[in-house]
Amino acid sequence: MPYASEISRTNPTCILFLVDQSSSMGEPMAGAGVPKAQFVSDALNSLIAELVVRSAKEDSIPDYFHVGVIGYGTSVHDALGYLGGGGPVPLSRLANAPLRVEQRIKQVRGPGGQSGTTTVKFPVWVEPRAEGLTAMTSALSAARSALKHWTSERPASFPPIVVNLSDGQANDGDPLVAAQELRSVATNDGHVLLFNVFVSSMDSNSWVYPNAADGTTDRHARTLFTMSSALPPSMLGYAREFHPGLPEGARGLVFNADAAEIVRFLDIGTRVPGAR
């Protein structure tokens, strides 16, 4: 059965984020009160921190995950390149080398339900950036190259997960072909999973986890639908906790969703079986 490989120290998986850093990402994010670039980098940094804290043991961090971030604007770059480059980075290395650790104020709810604030440490690996065009096709091709190499060294691993966060259409060629080539990369446990998040300035006409393209008339949304992989059973199970009745074949796509839905999607899309 595909997408069933155990994830362990000896058999890690890879999570690769493709982050749109074009100039339009400087516009406000629907429902978040911050620019889209800031929202996306905060969400990514939180997610990486969550992966670290979930995996960490008292005296070590097992490398259940290798993480990569490819940024794309006019060109494509390794957003974690400051760590030396060379592809996705083992989680333990990432954990111990954030760019900085900020102190942030977090809203909390007390035992009696009263709300308050507390200060938390917030590590930063990815900076917000918004300039230039949208080289999404090149980013998909770069992901394919990186994962072809990564999977050739770990053929038994749970297939890599690629999450593409963007607010616009590719202007460097047809992303469908590049997406198809990326999804053709595989381990013995299945093909690379490609999920798409359309980060919008609007929070209307949202379209989440569709299983057919006829749910929208938006041409770009249909393109992203075609690019996206279906959720494997374990992730479909998680998604159904928030969207009961989600049908088989639901794809890893959220379009025009609000901030909370996107954060939830990132959690679902990076939840893999075996990590209890």
Partner 1 sequence: MNTPSLTPPALPWGHISSKRGAAPHACDDVAWVRCGRTPRGAHVRLAVCDGATESTYAARWANCLARTLADTEEPLPAGFAAAVSRAREEMARELDALKSDAVQSKRPLTWYQESALDRDAHATALAADLVVSDDGATLSVVAVGDTNLFVVEGNTLVTAFPLTHTAHFGTSPLLVASGRSDTASHQHVVSQLRLPPDATMILATDAVAVWLLDQHEKGRPAWDEAVRLARASREEFQSWARAKQERTELRDDDLTLIALRVSHMGQMTSGSRPLSTTQPVRERPGVEGAHTPHDLATDEVAADRAPEMAAGDRAPQALTLLAAMVIALLFLSVGLVRIAPSVWAGNEPLRPVPARATPLEEAAYVHGYEQSAGQESAPCGLSPIADPTDVAEAWRDGCRDARSEP
The answer to whether 11 contacts partner 1 (rule: CB under 8 A) is yes
Task: Out of 82, 104, 105, 120, name the contact with partner 1 by CB under 8 A.
Answer: 120
The answer to whether 49 contacts partner 1 (rule: CB under 8 A) is yes
The answer to whether 235 contacts partner 1 (rule: CB under 8 A) is no
Q: Cα angle at 234 between 231 and 235, to 5 degrees?
A: 45
Q: Contacts with partner 1: how many residues (CB under 8 A)?
A: 30
Bridge partner list, 115: 109
- For residues 254 and 198, the answer to whether their CB atoms sit within 8 Å is yes
The answer to whether 53 contacts partner 1 (rule: CB under 8 A) is yes
Residue from 264, 209, 257 nearest 29 by CA: 257
The answer to whether 104 contacts partner 1 (rule: CB under 8 A) is no
CA atoms within 13 A on the CB side of 165: 27
Here the tokens at position 186 are: 């595989």
**Alpha-carbon dihedral angle through residues 84, 86, 90, 93, given to the nearest 10 degrees:** -10
- Indicate the residue among 186 and 275 with the shorter CB distance to partner 1: 275
CB of 35 to partner 1, least distance (A): 25
The answer to whether 8 contacts partner 1 (rule: CB under 8 A) is yes
Spell out, one character per residue from 123 to 142, where the chain touches partner 1: x when CB under 8 A holds, - when not: x-------------------
Task: Out of 61, 67, 69, 197, name the contact with partner 1 by CB under 8 A.
Answer: 61
- For residues 87 and 149, the answer to whether their CB atoms sit within 8 Å is yes
Taking CB under 8 A as the binding criterion, the range among 22-30, 54-62, 77-85, 247-255 that sits at the site for partner 1 is 54-62
Task: Out of 2, 34, 46, 56, name the contact with partner 1 by CB under 8 A.
Answer: 56
- For residues 254 and 208, the answer to whether their CB atoms sit within 8 Å is yes
Residue 230 is given by DSSP the state B
- For residues 190 and 232, the answer to whether their CB atoms sit within 8 Å is yes
Q: Which residues bind partner 1 (CB under 8 A)?
A: 6, 8-11, 49, 52-62, 95-96, 98, 101, 111, 120-121, 123, 234, 273-276
